Amino acid sequence: MFQVKEGDSIVLASESTRRVDILRTLGISFSIIPPDIDETRRKDETPQEFARRVSYEKAFKVGSHFPDKWVIGADTIVVLKGKVLGKPKNERDAFTMLKTLRGRWHKVITGYCVLNLSKDIISRDIVETRVFVRDMTDEEIIRYIKTSEPLGKAGSYAVQGKGGYMVKEIKGSYTNVVGLPICEIAEALLSLGVLS
Active site residue 75: yes
- d(CA 130, CA 138) in angstroms, rounded, equals 23
Length of the chain: 196
- Tell me how crowded residue 71 is: count the other CB atoms within 10 A of its CB: 29
**Full 3-state SS string of 81-137:** CCEEECCCCCHHHHHHHHHHHCCEEEEEEEEEEEEEHHHCEEEEEEEEEEEEECCCC
Q: How many CB atoms lie within 10 A of CB 193?
A: 10
**Whether the Cβ atoms of residue 117 and residue 96 lie closer than 8 Å to each other:** no
Which residue among the candidates 75, 120, 125, 138 is catalytic per the annotation? 75
Amino acid letter for position 84:
V
* Active-site amino acid positions: 75
